[in-house]
Amino acid sequence: MSSIIPVGIAGVGSYAPERVVPNAWFEEFLDTSNEWIVQRTGIEERRFVAEGENTSQMCLAAARRAMDAAGTTGEELDMIIVGTVSPDQQLPAVANLVQVGLGAKNAACFDLNAACTGFLTAMVTAEAYIAAGRARRILVLGAETLSRFIDFTDRGSCILFGDGAGAAVLMPHADCGQGEILRTTLGSDGEGYSVIEMPAGGSQRPATHETVEARDHFLKVRGRDVYRFAVAKIASLVREMLEGHTLDDLCAVVPHQVNRRIIDSAVEKLDIPPDKVVVNIDRYGNTSAASVPLALDEALTSGRVEKDKLVIMAAFGAGLSWGGALVRW
Ligand code: UT7
């Protein structure tokens, strides 16, 4: 899709809760070990929210940083989109709380559910609005408090996830002069609906004593199936985004932080120099919709993103869903 108005990423920000949870914490109540977790996932620690802390508060912290970086006020925002599967409440949207916190009284606000692809889905949606001239400043967020939705009796999944939030402000490239979005893609395969799911709590199986006792309100993951899908998907998204450009033009690939081994296998298939791949899963685990913007923000603040070079973002998750973006910084 060719943009009518080229769109830029004017500012990025992120937030991770203060509470650090090392792998050893799980050894106290699960048949697992730090060694297994590090070797199979690359995760050494993750962040969990404190009592009383929630998704909208993390969104606000990340949003304020992104808006400072973009030099934008709340009143200037036309829209706020939050990608999350762990909202404060089933309804209304987290985006409405972000609106209040930022004084963004002119913004249309909604959340979207695209799991780990949430941030990219929000970004691609925002890009389309701005490209079409229907909005000028949009705040997009990916944020999760998965620590409240993981099953701490399931050693195959609970060790994977962490909490956090990431944000970006999009505007016409002519207004910000950086982060030009050159190409994007979104896709889905609903045949994989049950690969990653929270089976109860919706209209199909509303909450009952039985669903709570069966622990069906927690996240269920078929890890091996995700593994195969993820290696292939990172590789195909990066190839698609890079088409027509060379590896020399590229300064950073920011993949969804799903598992260190998955990222490494995909990178090996692609022949990308490993130092161009942004990985912070060792410190944050898999933060779902927050993972790409958290890693992008780190890459920007550590100077790994170079002016006029290309950045590729690649995410995938429940749905199944996936999304990619090519940005010239
Ligand atoms: O963002 C989307 C959501 N993310 C994902 O779905 C994650 C994608 N998948 C993965 O990261 C990996 O598949 C896992 C890390 C979840 C699992 O690693 P694996 O190498 O695929 O292991 P496995 O599932 O094949 O299990 C191997 C063994 C099993 O024991 P047996 O049957 O061989 O005796 C598991 O029960 O490892 C056991 N195991 C554990 N052992 C110690 C599973 N979890 C643990 C654990 N500690 N935490």
Statement to judge: residues 138 and 169 lie in one domain: yes
The protein residue whose alpha carbon is closest to atom 6 in ligand 1 is 223
Residue 245 annotated as catalytic: no
In a domain, 125, yes or no: yes
Residue 126 near residue 77 (C-beta atoms within 8 A): no
Statement to judge: residues 165 and 201 lie in one domain: no
Average pLDDT over residues 225-245: 94
Statement to judge: residues 166 and 189 lie in one domain: no
Ligand 1: does its nearest atom lie under 6 Å from the Cβ of 226?
yes
The residue from 157, 176, 195 where one domain ends is: 176
Range of the domain at 210: 181-328
* Whole-number Å distance between alpha carbons of 129 and 5: 10
* Whole-number Å distance between alpha carbons of 305 and 313: 12
- E strands present in 154-296: 164-172, 180-188, 196-197, 220-221, 250-255
Statement to judge: residues 93 and 46 lie in one domain: yes
The protein residue whose alpha carbon is closest to atom 4 in ligand 1 is 258
In a domain, 1, yes or no: no
Q: pLDDT tens digit string along 14-43?
A: 999 999 999 999 999 999 999 999 999 999
What's the mean pLDDT when you consider all of the chain?
96
Residue 256 annotated as catalytic: yes
Statement to judge: residues 59 and 203 lie in one domain: no
CATH code at position 314: 3.40.47.10
Count of CB atoms situated within 10 Å of the CB of 156: 14
In a domain, 212, yes or no: yes
Q: pLDDT tens digit string along 143-174?
A: 999 999 999 999 999 999 999 999 999 999 99
The residue from 150, 176, 202 where one domain ends is: 176
What is the bridge-based pairing of β-strands 196-197 and 220-221?
antiparallel
The residue from 117, 151, 176 where one domain ends is: 176
Statement to judge: residues 101 and 169 lie in one domain: yes
Ligand 1: does its nearest atom lie under 6 Å from the Cβ of 116?
yes
pLDDT, residue 3, reads 55
The percentage of the chain sitting over the pLDDT mark of 70, rounded to a whole number, equals: 99
* Whole-number Å distance between alpha carbons of 42 and 285: 8
Residue 34 annotated as catalytic: no
CA of 58 to the centre of ligand 1 (A): 29
pLDDT, residue 2, reads 53
Catalytic residue among 173, 256, 259, 280: 256
Q: pLDDT tens digit string along 175-193?
A: 999 999 999 999 999 999 9
Domain count, the chain: 2
pLDDT, residue 271, reads 87
